[in-house]
Structure 1
Amino acid sequence: MSRQVALLRGVNVGGRNQVGMPALRELLEGLGFEDVKTHLQSGNVVYSSGKAPDRAAKEIEQALAKELGVKVPVLVRTKTELAAIAKADPLGKVASDPALYLVTFLSGKPEAKKIKEVDPEKYEPDVFKHVGQEIYVWCPNGVRNTKLTYSFWEKLLGVTATARNWRTVTKLLELADG
């Protein structure tokens, strides 16, 4: 059994894809996940499972659609992966507000060539850094004002993506540590 974190994209946003956290916990427990905890109302779930992360993500996606009528992408990281993501913190020296510092989680490792084609100057004052399967984005003028959104990266890289601010990332790691 390993601790894992499921990141559901687009739940409880703008009145769409409504999922109550008690129902979400019950759904995951019904799939055999243990010690299920949710964080906030935006689709962050920490649990223990012997299933591979990709398999867990697919099962959660399918159960959400079948049981709750909600079709959203789900990305899963292990506690170890999330710890490495937090440890990397490549923009930590410039990111002074955790609410404006995003981690964009990708469903697969992107082609470095496509990321290198993005001209950083075009997006200033926002700054980004790619590490592994994540892209870190510092948005000093606010998350709502950045053009470096999860959908930007998703279209550019041809992967599924979702983002969480630094405060949420560190809280999820804390919950995973139990």
Structure 2
Amino acid sequence: MTAYVALLRAVNVGGTGKLPMTSLATLCAAAGFSRVQTYIASGNVVFHSDETEEQVRTALEDRLHTHCGKRVGVIVRTASEIAAIVARNPFPDQPGNRVMALFVDAPLPTDPMAGATGAQGEQVRLGQRELFVFYPNGMAKTRLRLPSEKAGTARNMNTVARLAEMAAALR
């Protein structure tokens, strides 16, 4: 079995996309995932599955579509990938709540600032399947918009580290 982390896009953020985490856990169990655990009310879930990453994503997206009546984007990573993201954080000396990992499944841009608007001192670095963004003034005050945000989902490094711990405990 593989330990996975699934990150839902636009769930329980800003009063939109409400999905109780108990419902998310139930949907995951119905998809055949085991040892399901959610983390905070923003669409984070860890679990075991024998399926591939693509099969896991499709099964969860299909169940979410049926449950919510609309498409909900899902990013899936293995426990090893999440741990590697924590390890390669290019801003390890910055507060974890000011560094975000923007998870994407599309190819990353060659220049992480390509097409960006509203930059005010933020720093963006390429990862492998993610962008790392340091917000020196906090994310709430930023005007930075990255094209990758449209298809991805971001989590601060405190959350990523906790998800890595939870997923490692499932192995």
1:172 lines up with 2:163 in the alignment:
yes
Q: Gapped runs of 5+ residues in structure 1?
A: none
Cα deviation, residue 54, structure 1: 2.0
What fraction of aligned residue pairs are identical, expressed as a percent? 32
Cα deviation, residue 100, structure 1: 1.1
Alignment-derived partner of residue 39 in structure 2: 39
Residue pairs, 1:12-161, within 5 angstroms: 12-93=12-93, 95=94, 97-112=95-110, 114-115=111-112, 117=114, 123-149=119-145, 152-154=146-148, 160-161=151-152
Task: Name the amino acid aligned to 2:147.
Answer: W
Cα deviation, residue 65, structure 1: 1.0
Aligned 8 A contact 1:100 1:138 in 2: yes
Cα deviation, residue 154, structure 1: 2.3
Label 1:43 to 1:90 Cα distance change in 2 as closer, same or farther (>3 A): same
Aligned 8 A contact 1:137 1:148 in 2: no
Cα deviation, residue 75, structure 1: 0.3
Aligned 8 A contact 2:120 2:142 in 1: no
**Alpha-carbon distance in structure 2 between the residues aligned to 1:161 and 1:61:** 14
1:162 lines up with 2:153 in the alignment:
yes
Cα deviation, residue 23, structure 1: 1.2
**Alpha-carbon distance in structure 1 between the residues aligned to 2:147 and 2:131:** 9
Task: Name the amino acid aligned to 1:68.
Answer: C
**Alpha-carbon distance in structure 2 between the residues aligned to 1:166 and 1:2:** 22
TM-score by length of 2: 0.89
Label 1:119 to 1:68 Cα distance change in 2 as closer, same or farther (>3 A): closer
Cα deviation, residue 70, structure 1: 4.5
Cα deviation, residue 68, structure 1: 3.4
**Alpha-carbon distance in structure 2 between the residues aligned to 1:14 and 1:26:** 23
SS at match of 1:76: strand
